[in-house]
């Protein structure tokens, strides 16, 4: 539209915006807008538009496919609250890009959903179940001593620690490269550690375990 609110001619529109369309399509759009204005009783005084939010700018850009939306989403550098809570509880920095990439590589849906719930801290521990009124006791179901937190039942519980020690022994004895395996809390919970380089096979073993 022009500054006074009148519609441009097709040539004026094409010259200003350099959009590859034809006259019939353009006139059809103009007529549809005029019909909508008449139907709703809207009054257009000028061509000034309201501020458009970023999401709508992407949608109206005309580009097809999900890549553009993905790029907008990943521009947000803020960590999810679950990531911040993990780093606070474990008192360490975690490479979340690596963690989420490993999750995306999991093919088995149930295993992927399990790992997502673990990272997002939405696994139903006794603490959660007690809050929901399902359980009365918030302590670990294995040792009965400590609070049933995710990091406890998967790594810190004395019974679970013995399990991981036995698995580590099996891997070290069975694999030529097993001597480099030294399991820790980060590897068990998130599938990786900055001091340890794994492969897809090892990642699957840990996930199944």
User: Same structural domain for residues 118 and 172?
Assistant: yes
Domain's final residue, options 74, 101, 116:
74
What pLDDT score was predicted for residue 107? 92
What's the mean per-residue pLDDT of the chain?
Answer: 86
**203 and 151 in one domain?**
yes
Q: Are 40 and 99 in a shared domain?
A: no
Same domain membership, residue 45 and residue 101: no
136 located within any domain? yes
The reply to whether 3 falls in a domain is no
Residue 1 near residue 16, CB atoms below 8 Å: no
Instruction: DSSP for 160-194, please give it.
Output: HHHHHHHHHHHHHHH-TTGGG----HHHHHHS-BT
- H or E, element range at 134: none
Residues 29-76: tens digit of each pLDDT: 999 998 988 888 887 777 766 666 666 666 666 666 777 777 777 776
Report yes or no on 5 lying in a domain.
Answer: no
Domain range holding 173? 81-208
Instruction: Return the higher-pLDDT residue of 76 and 134.
Output: 134
pTM for the full predicted model? 0.61
95 and 39 share a domain? no
Q: For residue 189, how many C-alpha atoms fall within 13 Å in the half-sphere facing its CB?
A: 24
Band (pLDDT 50/70/90 cuts) for residue 16 is confident
Q: Are residues 70 and 151 in the same domain?
A: no
Start-to-end CA distance of the chain, whole Å, equals 64
- Note the pLDDT of residue 52: 66
Do residues 67 and 166 both lie within one domain?
no
For position 136, what pLDDT does the model report?
A: 87
- Domain co-membership, 162 together with 187: yes
Per-residue DSSP letters for 3-61?
A: TTSPPPPHHHHHHHH-----HHHHHHHHHHHHHHHHHHT-----S--PPPPHHHHHHHT
Q: Indicate if 49 and 146 belong to the same structural domain.
A: no
Q: What is the domain count for the chain?
A: 2
């Amino acid at each position: 539209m022009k500054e006074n609110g009148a519609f441009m001619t097709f040539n004026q529109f094409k010259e200003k915006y350099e959009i590859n369309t034809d006259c019939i399509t353009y006139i059809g759009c103009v007529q549809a807008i005029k019909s909508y204005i008449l139907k709703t009783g809207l009054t257009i005084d000028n061509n000034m538009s309201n501020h458009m939010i970023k999401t709508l700018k992407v949608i109206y850009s005309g580009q097809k496919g999900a890549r553009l939306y993905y790029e907008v989403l990943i521009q947000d550098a803020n960590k999810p609250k679950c990531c911040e809570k993990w780093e606070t509880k474990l008192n360490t920095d975690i490479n979340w890009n690596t963690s989420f990439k490993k999750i995306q590589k999991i093919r088995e849906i149930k295993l992927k959903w399990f790992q997502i719930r673990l990272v997002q801290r939405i696994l139903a521990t006794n603490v959660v179940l007690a809050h929901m009124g399902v359980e009365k006791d918030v302590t670990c179901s294995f040792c009965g001593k400590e609070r049933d937190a995710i990091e406890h039942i998967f790594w810190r519980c004395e019974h679970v620690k013995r399990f991981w020690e036995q698995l580590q022994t099996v891997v070290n004895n069975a694999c030529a490269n097993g001597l480099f395996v030294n399991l820790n809390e980060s590897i068990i919970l998130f599938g990786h550690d900055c001091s340890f380089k794994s492969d897809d096979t090892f990642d699957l073993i840990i996930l199944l375990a």
